[in-house]
Structure 1
Amino acid sequence: MKKNNTKHKCVACKKQFYYNCLLKYHIRREHFNLKAFRPYWETQNVNQIWFERVLNTNFLAKMTKISNNEIAVQKLKEGTNIKPTEMEREEWNLNFLYPTNGKQPLKCRICSETYTREKFTKHFKESHGLVLKKYCEKCRKRFKSAMAGANHVCMKSTVE
């Protein structure tokens, strides 16, 4: 009976991953929109005034930036002939906050060594015992790493 080695499942596309860190990178790379827009009020200076349309109504609001953290909002009457301010949205790229490329080094949680993505899986399997890679053909002894297999001196070969 084959054991299912996948523990972590992506809710969006149903892909399965053995390690949680691989699932996190998959979600960031495939399903996150890493672009955001800077709020218009952040681009305004203190004491600057602009007009915005109130959502789902015909009203306008007079917006005044009082300080960096405060905005005063005043509702204008319905018949006001002021045009709302045209807002240009400044786009921010947030990729620097969430590394998603395969070039990012991965740190082993067990031995704290860092490896490239290609070498990390091999390191983890061989060094931490998930896969016994090498074995001696004469005595059938298994080894966790290829290096341990190369350094092995078989007792059956010396007896014969």
Structure 2
Amino acid sequence: MEIKVELQVSANEVFEQLLESLIQDIKNSTGQTIPKNKLSKGFSYKKILRSNMGYDVTVNVQINELIQPNKYSATIENPKGTNTIEYSLRDTLKGVEITYKEYYKALSNLQNWNYLLVSLIYSRRSKKKMRKQFANLEQQILNAKNIK
């Protein structure tokens, strides 16, 4: 999946929110508070996710790229494959353009075909959900500016 959105905030503001979310996820998963300057390529942590079938799965999250304020990429490895997410940010005259990419590589060809089929079916819903999350992120940043 790949989507592009434009928000009326800066790349720095969006990237700061991404980092804050990452730090909170690490704290929720490990109990540790990690300072921003410790986050870099290669940093990893384990977390527990609930599967679609209702059981817990331990995954490994690893940062692949962290170039502030332009790019963040991470892989989430689970027992069946690897999910990769990537945010690319570029300041524009009106704010920021974000390109979000997400893809999955299963351990078996059958699972890869299954993922491709399911992705085609749910692609529109997934993109709509991500656009809504970006709109919420934009609103959160704008609200924080108004409070200051």
Shorter-chain TM-score: which interval?
under 0.3
TM-score by length of structure 2 reads 0.26
Richer in strand (by share) = 2
More helix by share: 2
Structure with higher RCO (Cα < 8 A, 6+ apart):
2
Please tell me whether Structure 1 or Structure 2 has the larger radius of gyration of its CA atoms. 1
TM-score by length of 1: 0.25
